[in-house]
Amino acid sequence: MYFWQNYFVSFSLSAQVSSSEKNESTKSVEQQTLEKQKLEKERVAKKQANNPQANNPNAPIATFDKLVHDYGTMEQHANGNCEFVFTNTGREPLILNNVRSS
C-alpha cells in the first residue's frame, strides 16, 4: 500500500508541472506577435536614438533604380555582372564607406 501512495503522489506532481509548463508555452499567437512587435519597436527606437542622422530632414537618401536583378537561366561561364544605379535625393552629400558585394 505504501508503494501505491508514493506512485500516486509522484504522478500528481508531474501532472502539475506539465500543466504549468503548458500554460507558459501556449501563449496565443497574437500575444507572441505583439511581444515581437514591441521588441522590434524598442530596437528601432534605440537605434534611431543613437543615430543623429535618423531625424535629420536634410540627410542623404540613396534612391535606387532597382533593388533586385533576376538573372533567369544563365549559361555556364556567362558574365554575371549587374549594375545598380542610385541617386542621392537628399540634401547633404552621400558618403559610401566599406562598400562590398555579396
- What are the cell numbers at 98? 566599406
Q: Where are the domains of the chain?
A: 2-72+82-88
| 8 Å CB contact between 89 and 64 | no
Q: What is the pLDDT of residues 35-70, one digit of tens each?
A: 988 998 888 778 767 766 667 888 888 999 999 999
Is the pTM higher than 0.75? The answer reads no
- What are the cell numbers at 20? 504549468
Q: What is the pLDDT of residues 10-40, one digit of tens each?
A: 444 444 545 545 555 566 888 888 898 899 8
Bridge partners of 64, per DSSP, are 86
- As a residue count, the chain comes to 102
Q: Rounded to whole angstroms, how far apart are CA atoms 59 and 57?
A: 6
